[in-house]
Structure 1
Amino acid sequence: MTTIVQIEVMRVAIGFDAGRRVTEDSGARAGDAFNAASKQLARMESLLVKVVLSDGRVGWGEGFGHACNPATFAMLAGAVGRFFIGMPFDAAAQPEVLNATAQRAFHSYGSTGPMMYALSAIDIALWDLAGQAAGTPLYRMLGASRTRVDVYASLVSYDNDPAEVARQVRRVHAEGFTRIKLHETSADAIRAAREALPAEVELMVDVNCPWSAEEAATQAARIRSQGLTWLEEPVWPPDNYAGLAQVRRCGVPIAAGENAAGIAGIRQCLESGAVDVLQPSVAKLGGVTAIREAITLANRHGVRVVPHCFFYGPGLLATAHIVASLPDTVALEMPAVRFDALLHPAMALRPTLTLPDTPGLGFAPDEDVLRSNLIDHAIVR
């Protein structure tokens, strides 16, 4: 019988360049330091999990994320890691079975936050192992036939500076991107981006939950003429689905879902008529198992799914495999930055990503890059 014998947990932080001009005044909101799109960040973290089986096979996963990584790391290096040690692994029946067992065991910790992020990382690793056992890439296990996915460039924040935002969208468009997402909140910055781009280029805006439903409706009306593909998470709190539905009635497509509290949160979001675009996150919601369930629910409600992905490790590859199983019009989100070093080849920002044709995820980290950018490490046996 094959069992899980070791779980290795690694925090990695890699420097990056977002093409920003150095300025004296940041203009940033106080909470932006905790947002991965913030100008205050010079390195971006990834929380990696390596699950080792008794037969020597290895699966990789990634948990969310960024400023929360120390807490998620503690879960994986502690209770969550210990829970999975010694568990039997049967690729034919799992990872869904192990995921369900773990969520029941840890139900008192809630359906979101570091515990769920840790379970997400393990689930991704188990799907990697399941693909290896089946001798097939994950995207084929998910029913996909395409091996290449389009990428949309997810820009960091440029402090609502219209001239700088225009410069940045021109930069990524010149690199071949025809779908671009901003992390700005001002109508002037959004308008500047729209005017800087050809009409056929899709423009999305993630505002990161800054407004009440009433304020969001006012802001949505101001930018309705810009023809956005979607306005992402305009309402605080993020699970105010009635508020999102109210804003949606203003005529601007609404996207949300990365902060849903488990599958129950996804179901509530859909049943509330809150979104035009559902954005489940593989590293936050419960891994590949949860994303598959979210897609099934969204299909029943006729809602488009475009997964959230502002991370760069195995979670990026898992999301790419999932995107390949969705309609061809769905693109993969990638942070629009240039990393100082590539942990794996798929990190290189390009308008398209070709999926590895190896069993499982196909994640193979550069050991030198991993070692030189490691900031925390634990092994659970």
Structure 2
Amino acid sequence: MYEDFASDLAVTMWADFDETPARDGPTVSIADLSTVVVDGNFPWTIVTVETEDGTVGVGECYPSPGVHEIITDYLQPVLEGENPTDVERLYNLMRASLSGRGSQQGVGTIAISGVEIALWDLTGKLLDQPVYQLLGGKMRESVLVYADCHAGEAMVSSAQEGQEQETYQPEAYAQAARAAVDDGFDVVKFDLDVPSGRSQNRKSRHFDGPEIEHKRDIVAAVTEEIGDDAEVAVDLHWNFSPETATRLCRAIEGYGLAWVEDPLPPENADAMTALANRVDVPILTGENCYGRHGFRDLIEGQGVSFLAPDVPKVGGIAETKKIADMAETYYQTLVPHNIGSPVATVATAHVGATVPNFYGLEYHAREVPWWEDLLVQEVPLIQDGRIEIPDSPGLGIELDWDAVEAHRKE
């Protein structure tokens, strides 16, 4: 019932997007959409879009409940029979079909993002071109990847064997940083909104002096250990008030951090810009913004230094490139958020290859030993903290479906 309503709504509101352009030569059409969830350090939702001739495109959605139902129940009937190479038209068609039901932000946009990535992969395979070529060609042969070292048990477990320190203590951070740098990463990041062992009213978004000193000690230990071997960044996960964020940023200003990520809640771009203008550390934010419209105020405010769209969340590959183009007019740099599988990671790398203002992307799975096993490949995807942009058609990767099944989450 809803399938018919969704299709009728899309045709009624966005008839232009449902008029397939005439083409010379044979075309193919979409036959099926499906999903599978991989049980990684996050639930990675892999999306497949298949044509009637058996060609399959692979994408990924940001971890979120409800994406399977949206894709299979709502988007499948909208896309069935459509030409998959009309990626931009189909992106707008999907948004129209979910109009008023989350296509501007939230889980609807997340579902659309995963399908959009799969459509680009599928289009590249059908046209025998890598995705970066479909986006205008590459500006660089490889992209930098930074290591998110987390905090607590996840951080300690990803450090080298034999290096065990008490969780959340500065020495543990320093050893985990050294392990990541020794693995070849030129940028490392840590969670700084972590327990110190003291009781705090965290709901108030306020830290007292000893709490801020604990965070400063962590930054001091890591930067002293790393020196000039790599850049160091920290993540605050939207947990603080402007007052505490200002005091904390000023306490760590002298350590040459690459950036301070998400010091304030994400809803108020003006507050984030005002904070960035008060402190002498680069601010990075954006993983909770949706679409280019969600980034407009951050870009036009010119306060933050780095923008962090998440490709499987923000709208997909093309939408991320459009955000990069907007940011370039204000000389802001992209450092995309990424907590996904190799699919999301490579999709982000293709965007990074095509825009000038791309610095690097996040790698958030050092503690998942089988992360690379999800791909059929002879060499590791990430080498010396970089990803070489695949030249094969589509995303240029092949999933090992046996490995996917072995780590499947029911």
Q: Normalising by the residue count of structure 1, what TM-score does the alignment of the two structures yield? A: 0.84
Q: 1:239 offset after TM fit, Å?
A: 2.3
Distance 2:329 2:139 in 1: 22
Q: Is the Cα contact below 8 Å between 1:63 and 1:117 reproduced in 2?
A: yes
Out of 258, 282, 302, the position equivalent to 1:273 is 302
Query: CA separation in 2, counterparts of 1:256 and 1:328?
Result: 15
1:373 equivalent to 2:401? Answer no
The answer to whether residue 30 in structure 2 is matched with residue 4 in structure 1 is yes
Letter in 2 for 1:55: D
- RMSD value, Cα: 1.9
How many equivalent pairs are there? 341
Give the aligned partner of residue 133 of structure 1: 126
C-alpha distance in 2 between matches for 1:221 and 1:85: 54
Aligned residue number for residue 63 of structure 1: 61
Equivalent in the alignment of 2:23: none
**1:298 aligns with one of 327, 337, 344:** 327
State whether residues 233 and 259 of structure 2, in contact with CA within 8 Å, keep that contact through their aligned partners in structure 1.
yes
Equivalent AA in structure 2 for residue 174 of structure 1: D
Range 271-280 or range 336-345, more displaced: 336-345
The answer as to whether partners of 2:310 and 2:338 remain within 8 angstroms in 1 is: yes
Aligned to 2:173: 165
Letter in 2 for 1:8: S
CA contact (8 A) 1:280 1:291 kept: yes
- Equivalent in the alignment of 1:221: 250
Residue in 2 aligned with 1:286?
Answer: 315
Match of 2:273 among 245, 250, 256: 245
What secondary structure is seen at the aligned counterpart in 2 of 1:52? strand
**Residue among 96, 117, 126 paired with 2:88:** 96
* Between 192-201 and 165-174, the greater mean CA deviation after superposition: 192-201
1:155 equivalent in structure 2? 149
Query: Contact (CA 8 Å) 1:255, 1:277: kept in 2 or not?
Result: yes
Per the alignment, in what secondary structure is the counterpart of residue 329 of structure 2? helix
**Structure 1 position 120, deviation (Å):** 0.1
Do the aligned residues in 2 keep the contact of 1:161 with 1:189 (CA within 8 Å)?
yes
Shift of 1:244: 0.9
Q: What is the CA deviation profile of residues 286-341 of structure 1, one whole-angstrom value per residue up to 9, with x for unaligned ones?
A: 00121121011101122111211121132111011111223487223212514242
Q: Identity over aligned residues, as a percent?
A: 28
Q: What residue in structure 1 maps to residue 374 of structure 2?
A: 343
Q: For residues 154 and 334 of structure 1, do their structure 2 counterparts lie closer, same or farther at Cα, with a shift above 3 Å needed?
A: same
**Structure with greater proportional strand content:** 1
Change (3 A) 1:206 1:316: same
Q: Unaligned stretches of 5+ in structure 2?
A: 1-26, 153-166, 194-214
Q: Tell me, in whole angstroms, the C-alpha distance in 2 between the residues paired with 1:211 and 1:330.
A: 26
Structure 2 distance, partners of 1:161, 1:87, is 55
State the Cα distance separating 1:60 from its structure 2 match: 0.5
Counterpart residue number, 2:393: 359
Q: SS of the residue aligned with 2:402?
A: helix
Aligned-pair CA distance for 1:278: 1.0
Structure 1 residue ranges (4+ consecutive) displaced by more than 3 angstroms after TM superposition: 326-329, 345-350
Q: Can you list the C-alpha shifts for 1:67-86, whole angstroms capped at 9, x where unaligned?
A: x2x32222223212332222
Counterparts of 1:7-86 in structure 2, within 5 Å, are: 7-14=33-40, 43-65=41-63, 68=64, 70-86=65-81
| CA–CA distance in structure 1, aligned partners of residues 397 and 60 of structure 2 | 11
Query: Is the CA contact (8 Å cut-off) linking 1:217 and 1:247 kept in structure 2?
Result: yes
Amino acid in the other structure paired with 2:190: L
Partners of 1:182 and 1:205 within 8 A in 2: yes
Distance apart, 1:217 and its partner CA: 1.2
Greater alpha carbon shift after TM alignment, 335-344 vs 248-257? 335-344
Letter in 2 for 1:12: V
* Structure 1 pair 88–334 and aligned structure 2 pair: CA distance change class (3 A): same
109-118 vs 219-228, greater mean Cα deviation = 109-118
The structure-2 alpha-carbon separation of the partners of 1:13 and 1:156, relative to structure 1 and needing over 3 Å to count, comes to: same
Q: What secondary structure is seen at the aligned counterpart in 1 of 2:284? A: strand
Query: Counterparts of 2:318 and 2:356 in 1: how far apart (Å)?
Result: 19
Residue by residue over 1:193-249, the C-alpha shift from the partner in whole angstroms, topping out at 9 and shown as x without a partner, is 11111235211111110111222111111111111111111102x121111112111
The answer as to 2:361 corresponding to 1:332 is: yes
User: How far has the Cα of 1:63 moved from its partner?
Assistant: 0.3
Which structure's CA Rg is the greater one?
2
Determine helix, strand or coil for the equivalent of 2:313.
coil
One-letter amino acid of the structure 2 residue matched with residue 101 of structure 1: L
Per-residue deviation at 1:351? Answer: 1.6
In the superposition, relative to structure 1, how do residues 12 and 329 fare at CA in structure 2: closer, same or farther (>3 Å)?
A: closer
Amino acid at match of 1:59: G
With the length of structure 2 as denominator, give the TM-score of the two structures.
0.79
The corresponding residue for 1:117 is: 110
**Mapped partners of 2:327, 2:140: distance in 1:** 21
Number of the residue aligned with 1:29: none
Q: Structure 1 stretches of 5 or more lacking a match?
A: 15-42, 377-381
2:283 to 254, 263, 267: 254
Residues 338 and 348 of structure 1, relative CA distance in 2, 3 Å threshold: farther
Give, in whole Å, the separation in 2 of the partners of 1:116 and 1:62: 12
| Higher relative contact order, chain-length normalized (CA < 8 Å, sep 6+) | 1
